[in-house]
């Protein structure tokens, strides 16, 4: 008795879905690191290795990434904590738009 297996007949194999999934995961992770840095920048200096890694990812993976990443770093250098967070949030929102939306 031969039984034809058709359960996977509607599943598409191939393509770049796994690469897209990885890129989306990386973008989500990077944006979480950036958001945490912006949320805490009034109380502490968030410029640790994870933020620097996220900045490097932004520089290499999105259009205008170099300018946006440098703008965020410049915002984090501001002396006034309220201005620092306000400017950093502005750059975070621009980065989120350039990565295709908000990821949390």
Query: Each residue of 33-64: pLDDT tens digit?
Result: 999 999 999 999 999 999 999 999 999 988 89
Residue 104 lies in a domain: no
Q: What is the DSSP letter of 46?
A: -
> Do 98 and 27 touch, CB atoms closer than 8 A?
no
How many structural domains is the chain composed of? 1
Range of the domain at 79: 19-98
> Do 96 and 31 touch, CB atoms closer than 8 A?
yes
This prediction's pTM: 0.74
Q: How far apart are CA 21 and CA 92, in angstroms?
A: 22
Residue 55 lies in a domain: yes
Residue 10 lies in a domain: no
Total Cβ atoms within 10 A of residue 52: 13
- Tell me which residue has tokens 């201005």: 83
């Amino acid at each position: 008795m031969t039984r034809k297996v058709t359960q996977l007949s509607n599943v598409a194999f191939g393509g770049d879905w796994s690469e897209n999934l990885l890129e989306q995961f990386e973008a989500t992770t990077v944006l979480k690191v950036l958001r945490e840095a912006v949320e805490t920048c009034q109380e502490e200096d968030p410029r640790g290795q994870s933020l620097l890694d996220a900045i490097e990812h932004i520089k290499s993976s999105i259009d205008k990434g170099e300018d946006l990443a440098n703008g965020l770093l410049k915002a984090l250098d501001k002396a006034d904590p309220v201005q620092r967070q306000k400017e950093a949030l502005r750059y975070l929102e621009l980065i989120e738009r350039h990565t295709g939306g908000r990821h949390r």
